[in-house]
Amino acid sequence: MTEEKKTPADPPFYISKDEERRLRLAAEKISPSLVIAQASSFDEYVRQLMVPPAVMDLARKAADIRFSAWEIEGIRELLAPGTGGTVPLLRQILIKKAELDPSHPPYIRVACTGKGDYDDLAAAHGYEVTHEGDYGSPVVLEIWPAQHYSPMHSHGETTGIVYCLAGQLDVMSYATLDWNAEKRGLVTLTPGQCAWLTKDNYAVHKVFCPLDGGPNPTKLLNDTGDFGASFHVYLNRDELRVAVDDSESRDAFDYIDEDAPHEKKQFQTYSDLSWRVLRSVLAKNARDW
């Protein structure tokens, strides 16, 4: 009798449908709650009571943030595959990032303060880049094209939230930063909900946008303008009035390489674009509609 060969599970989470169901059920029971949202049951209310006060404060302050309809449509246009020989701004950034790191489909980090690596691309398209600033920011907007995802990564000693602004985002929580780490739970965030993390809880995760990638996606780039968006806040321990070494700050995060042999590496944080530049591009495009 021959053994049945198992088909390797697909990225981003490399799990079967049965495992996915089990992990979603696990996320419904884990305490403290993986998700901060309006509680719909007594059990959920109790699980959210266990979320640290500093995290709940960040979530409350983010609760009324929304994208406008024109901002969502504008981002979708900037992500979509180009037509007539033109490549929209955000699509250009995705292409450049995929060339630099072919281990996983890229996503876009937008600095809410400071400067982005690709701000000059906007200048090349006729948008003036006049501000100055560094790359570091405790607050970033992350844009997740449909079917794109992050590697498994740790936020170390920081305390923060991942607040969903648009679309849908799947977040897998891991017990440790290791390719074979225990998967603790899988949740889907919709606008108004957020995941969270501290050094003691849920510091290791992977984020994925499960929306349709379009009719002709490649391994690294989708074929659509659909996206999820999230607002991230990461506070260092000294910003919570606790002393900390620089190596444990948001300036660098550890992650696991998606490519074999799945080594642990370090990601020096940076932003691809600044919010000031992105919003000026969105506003100009909206005026041209």
Is the CA virtual torsion 212, 218, 223, 227 positive or negative? positive
**CA 114 to the chain's CA centroid:** 19
Element (H, E) at 159: strand 159-166
Is there a contact between 116 and 271 (Cβ–Cβ < 8 Å)?
Answer: yes
Q: What angle do CA 216, 166, 136 make, to 5 degrees?
A: 100
Work out the angle between the directed axes of helices 89-100 and 69-79 (0-180°, nearest 10): 50
- Looking at residue 270, what is its pLDDT? 83
pLDDT tens, per residue, the chain with 289 residues = 444 444 457 999 999 999 999 999 999 999 999 999 999 899 999 999 999 999 999 999 999 999 999 999 999 999 999 777 789 999 999 999 999 999 999 999 999 888 889 999 988 777 777 766 555 568 899 999 999 999 999 998 899 999 999 999 999 999 999 999 999 999 999 999 999 999 999 999 999 999 999 999 999 999 999 999 999 999 987 777 533 343 355 778 899 999 999 999 998 888 899 998 999 999 988 887 7
Residues 6+ apart with CB under 8 A from 274: 110, 111, 114, 115, 116, 119, 131, 133
Is there a contact between 148 and 106 (Cβ–Cβ < 8 Å)?
Answer: yes
